[in-house]
């Protein structure tokens, strides 16, 4: 048995501020403030990326009271704050969560407490290790904190699948609602960016490097792209069965019309592969199963981030699937970076008819890619949006989001 699934609430916190309106403003205006990353620990190689989009200065106390915040790792605080915002947005701030599930997607997990614990264990000895740091270091700690914050007693899980963690979590959340295993699911995409992680990503040459003017710019699909912008934050999406949502008078942001998952076995563990053909075939097959004709898609919110090989793979999949009839492609990671949930939040915004701005950083087409992303300030509201996220290491998830029905009185 399966039930149609809709998204009825969205909350987000990140470098751009607190709340979805702040994110929408940032996407529209491109106003981001990269922060110079602290290199004092000596983790960084000389040269390389200097900045990240961090959210450490946010005041979340209205959403996460200090008495509970002190027990949480930074990503758990982001996730619980976004959770409060999402529930309010869905009109569920005071709902009972006995049968509410939680699915968290996180690329790197609670990095700061993990680093603390490693310093304690490896440099100071086992007696120095903090038990609280250990319990907060597990990848699922944010999922547990979210559950405790609202009393969500349904299925609770965390997925780590690198750059596709966010959409993988959305897919599993949709599965739990569709099967009835949960009444509703709160899907979170959450990560934090710390100097250690920034240094490691830079050593892998994953991050955008300073240009001639010193600025580090993520350039999705651009000929000169050389990496992504490291970011942090959280987004939470409320998923419900469509009849439940309509029954309580909720106004869905979007309807999940399909989920497709695939894997590119040509990818090495630390990078993207070259299997755009097989991935496109998997995507085409999955869309067919979902009853989604590629021609009915009028917007792609692409996970392209400015990664050299990642964007090439993404372009290959999209051009193979759509051929000459490529819809508008927007890559919000050019503005908001990754990870940290902003891609997922931007996709929901776009699918619900909000403008998410142009693909920032893109200026020069890459002749190898055969794809130019949209640089329009505003596109027509889509009826059907394809959201993509291809992960280094090989995993891929695509989600199809339909615009909400104009009238809620829709026959089921």
Partner 1 sequence: MSGEPVAVTGLGAVSGFGWGVEELWRGVLSGASAIRDFHRFDHTGYRTHVASEVPDGPALDPEAGGPRLTLADRFALVAAAEALAGARLPERLEGAAAGLFFGSSTGGMFESEQFFAQLVGRPRRAPISLLSAQQPCGPGDAVARAHGVTGPVETIASACASATLALGAALDALRSGEIELALAGGSDSLCRLTFGGFNALRAVDERPCRPFRRERAGMSIGEGAAVLVLESRARAERRGAPVLAWLAGVGASCDAHHMTSPDPQGEGISRAVAAALADAGLAPAAIDFVNLHGTGTPANDSAEARMLARIFGARAPALPATSTKGCVGHFLGAAGAVEALVTVLCLEHGLVHPTPGEGTLDPGLGVDLVVGAPRALPAARRALSTNLAFGGANAACVLLHPEAA
271-310 residues in contact with partner 1 (CB under 8 A) are 278, 282, 286, 289
Of the pair 154, 358, the CB lying nearest partner 1 is at 154
Report the nearest approach of partner 1 to the CB of residue 122 (Å): 5
Read off the tokens for 405: 């029905």
Using CB under 8 A as the binding rule, whether residue 269 contacts partner 1 is answered as yes
Using CB under 8 A as the binding rule, whether residue 15 contacts partner 1 is answered as no
> Which range, of 224-232, 255-263, 322-330, 402-410, touches partner 1 by CB under 8 A?
255-263
Report the nearest approach of partner 1 to the CB of residue 398 (Å): 11
Report the nearest approach of partner 1 to the CB of residue 366 (Å): 26
Using CB under 8 A as the binding rule, whether residue 393 contacts partner 1 is answered as yes
Of the pair 101, 310, the CB lying nearest partner 1 is at 101
Q: Which of 25, 88, 153, 375 binds partner 1 (CB under 8 A)?
A: 153
Using CB under 8 A as the binding rule, whether residue 2 contacts partner 1 is answered as yes
Q: Which of 53, 193, 239, 267 binds partner 1 (CB under 8 A)?
A: 267
Q: Which of 21, 33, 38, 45 binds partner 1 (CB under 8 A)?
A: 45
Using CB under 8 A as the binding rule, whether residue 136 contacts partner 1 is answered as yes
Using CB under 8 A as the binding rule, whether residue 151 contacts partner 1 is answered as yes
Report strand pairing: 100-105 vs 184-191.
parallel
Question: Between residue 199 and residue 228, which ones bind partner 1 under the rule CB under 8 A?
Answer: 200, 203-204
Contact by Cβ (8 Å): 208, 144 = no
Using CB under 8 A as the binding rule, whether residue 198 contacts partner 1 is answered as no
Rounded (10°) CA dihedral 344, 158, 14, 91: 70
Report the nearest approach of partner 1 to the CB of residue 367 (Å): 29
> Which range, of 12-20, 153-161, 315-323, 340-348, touches partner 1 by CB under 8 A?
153-161
Mapped to the 3 state alphabet, what secondary structure does the chain carry?
Answer: CCCCEEEEEEEEEECCEECHHHHHHHHHHCCCCCEECCCCCCCCCCCCCCEEECCCCCCCCCCCCHHHHCCCCHHHHHHHHHHHHHHHHCCCCCCCCCCEEEEEECCCCCHHHHHHHHHHHHHHCHHHCCHHHHHHHCCCHHHHHHHHHHCCCCCEEEECCHHHHHHHHHHHHHHHHHHCCCCEEEEEEEECCCHHHHHHHHHCCCECCECCCCCECCCCCECCCCCECEECEEEEEEEEEHHHHHHCCCCCCEEEEEEEEEECCCCCCCCCCCCHHHHHHHHHHHHHHHCCCHHHCCEEECCCCCCHHHHHHHHHHHHHHHCCCCCEEECCHHHHCECCCHHHHHHHHHHCCCCCCCCCCCCCECCCCCCCCCCCCCCCCCCEEEEEEECCCCEEEEEEEECCCCCCCCCC
Q: N- to C-terminal Cα distance for the chain?
A: 15
Separation of alpha carbons 259 and 10, rounded Å: 19
Report the nearest approach of partner 1 to the CB of residue 162 (Å): 6
Of the pair 127, 213, the CB lying nearest partner 1 is at 127
Number of residues that bind partner 1 (CB under 8 A): 82
Question: Between residue 92 and residue 121, which ones bind partner 1 under the rule CB under 8 A?
Answer: 97, 101-102, 106-109, 114-115, 117-121
Of the pair 43, 221, the CB lying nearest partner 1 is at 43
Of the pair 51, 137, the CB lying nearest partner 1 is at 137
Name the packing angle between helices 195-203 and 111-119 (round to 10°).
100
Q: Which of 51, 54, 116, 156 binds partner 1 (CB under 8 A)?
A: 156
Report the nearest approach of partner 1 to the CB of residue 126 (Å): 5
Question: Between residue 348 and residue 387, which ones bind partner 1 under the rule CB under 8 A?
Answer: none
Question: Between residue 157 and residue 186, which ones bind partner 1 under the rule CB under 8 A?
Answer: 157-162, 168, 171-172, 175, 179-181
Q: Which of 263, 296, 320, 326 binds partner 1 (CB under 8 A)?
A: 263
Report the nearest approach of partner 1 to the CB of residue 249 (Å): 26
């Amino acid at each position: 048995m399966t039930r149609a699934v809709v998204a009825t609430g969205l909350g987000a916190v990140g470098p751009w501020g607190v709340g979805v309106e702040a994110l929408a403003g940032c996407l529209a205006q491109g106003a981001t403030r990269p922060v110079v990353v602290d290199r004092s620990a000596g983790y960084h190689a000389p040269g390389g990326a200097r900045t990240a989009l961090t959210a450490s200065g946010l005041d979340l106390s209205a959403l996460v009271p200090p008495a509970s915040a002190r027990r949480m790792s930074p990503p758990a605080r982001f996730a619980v704050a976004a959770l409060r915002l999402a529930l309010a947005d869905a009109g569920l701030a005071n709902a009972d969560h006995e049968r509410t599930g939680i699915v968290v997607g996180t690329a790197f997990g609670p990095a700061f407490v993990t680093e603390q614990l490693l310093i304690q264990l490896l440099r100071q000895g086992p007696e120095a290790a903090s038990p609280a740091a250990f319990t907060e270091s597990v990848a699922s700690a944010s999922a547990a904190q979210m559950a405790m914050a609202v009393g969500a007693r349904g299925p609770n899980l965390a997925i780590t699948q690198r750059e596709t963690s966010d959409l993988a979590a959305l897919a599993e959340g949709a599965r739990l609602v569709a099967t009835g295993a949960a009444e509703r699911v709160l899907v979170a995409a959450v990560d934090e960016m710390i100097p250690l992680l920034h240094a490691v990503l830079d050593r892998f040459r994953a991050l955008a490097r300073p240009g001639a003017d010193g600025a580090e710019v993520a350039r999705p699909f651009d000929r000169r792209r050389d990496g992504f912008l490291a970011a942090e934050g959280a987004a939470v999406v409320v998923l419900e069965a469509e009849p439940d949502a309509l029954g309580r008078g909720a106004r869905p942001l979007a309807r999940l019309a399909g989920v497709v998952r695939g894997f590119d076995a040509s990818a090495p563990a630390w990078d993207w592969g070259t299997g755009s053909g097989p991935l496109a075939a998997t995507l085409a097959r999955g869309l067919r199963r979902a009853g989604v004709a590629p021609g009915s898609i009028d917007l792609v919110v692409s996970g392209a981030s400015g990664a050299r090989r990642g964007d090439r793979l993404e372009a290959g999949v999209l051009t193979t699937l759509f051929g000459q009839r490529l819809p508008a492609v927007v890559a919000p990671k050019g503005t908001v970076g990754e990870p940290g949930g902003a891609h997922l939040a931007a996709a929901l915004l776009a699918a619900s008819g909000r403008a998410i701005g142009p693909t920032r950083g893109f200026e020069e087409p890459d002749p190898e890619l055969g794809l130019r992303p949209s640089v329009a300030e505003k596109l027509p509201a889509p009826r059907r949006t394809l959201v993509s996220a291809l992960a280094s290491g090989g995993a891929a998830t695509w989600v199809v989001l339909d615009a909400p029905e104009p009238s809620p009185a829709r026959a089921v």
